[in-house]
Amino acid sequence: MGRWAAARRVVCTSSWITHPEPVFGACHAKAGCHRGSRHRETLDAVEPPGRGNGYEAMAVGGCLVAALLAVSRLFAQVGLNHEDTWEFLDHMWDWLTVEADTCPEWETWWNPVLAMALGDPVPTQLLAGNPIPPDDLRLVCEDVAELVYGNLYTIVQHNAMFQRMERLRGQLARFGLDLPPPELIRRSPVADPAAGLGWGSTLSADEVGDLRAMDW
């Protein structure tokens, strides 16, 4: 799976110890390694980009919810019915509910669209009869996936997330769509101020279900 499969060495920022063996970075994030108190002050002190789209100072979870809502609407609008694409979106929604003990199962999940989003070629089954040009589909899925996967093995990169959201907004505009209003996301459980600017809140399955059904 390209870059993701190779990126297994992480630094545990809560203990400042480099793990000598490959480990699951996402599990360390959810266990408090990348979300730990030793790191929280650094995350909260990150300067947002100079210009804003409303998502420049939002936790990973909030940006992810906005991106998933918009991309789900895009796929429904154009009639993209390929099962792998919707399973990919389901997998990304699932990240919001992941705890340390469920993280290994989440991180080992794979399908061709996730592989494409992380750098592999567009799957052959998506090259023909696709209502979204394959290169556009790859960029859209990449921008969704990298909101999470791009932060698993480092501190949360707010500038990079801002750029992802800006590029996704440009792709959506080609189909007459936009991201949800950021104020809507800030009023949801995923944007709990107590969670800070890092990964954001871990949600229940019911809370995720409510977010997926959000009218905007």
pLDDT tens for 65-82 read 999 999 999 999 999 999
Q: Is residue 14 part of a domain?
A: yes
Confidence check: pLDDT of 158 > 80:
yes
Which of the pair, 205 or 25, is modelled with greater confidence? Answer: 205
CA 136 to CA 181: how far, in whole Å?
23
CA 173 to CA 196: how far, in whole Å?
30
Mean pLDDT score of the chain? 79
Percentage helix, strand, coil for the chain under 3-state DSSP, each rounded to 5: 55, 0, 45
User: Looking at the 3D structure of the chain, how many domains does it have?
Assistant: 1
Find all residues with CB under 8 Å of 171, minimum gap 6, and list them. Answer: 136, 139, 140, 143
Q: Is residue 114 part of a domain?
A: yes
Residue listed under structure tokens 């409303």: 54
Q: Is residue 166 part of a domain?
A: yes
Among the listed residues 1, 154, 168, 194, the one whose alpha carbon sits nearest the alpha carbon of residue 72: 168
Q: Is residue 121 part of a domain?
A: yes
Q: Is residue 95 part of a domain?
A: yes
Find all residues with CB under 8 Å of 106, minimum gap 6, and list them. Answer: 26, 91, 94, 95, 98
Is 14 in contact with 35 (CB distance < 8 Å)? Answer: no
Is 138 in contact with 145 (CB distance < 8 Å)? Answer: no
Q: Is residue 140 part of a domain?
A: yes
Is 185 in contact with 60 (CB distance < 8 Å)? Answer: no
CA 159 to CA 50: how far, in whole Å?
10
Q: Is residue 51 part of a domain?
A: no
Q: Is residue 172 part of a domain?
A: yes
Task: Identify the domain containing residue 122 by its residue range.
Answer: 2-46+56-212
* Segment among 9-13, 46-50, 86-90, 172-176 with least mean pLDDT: 9-13
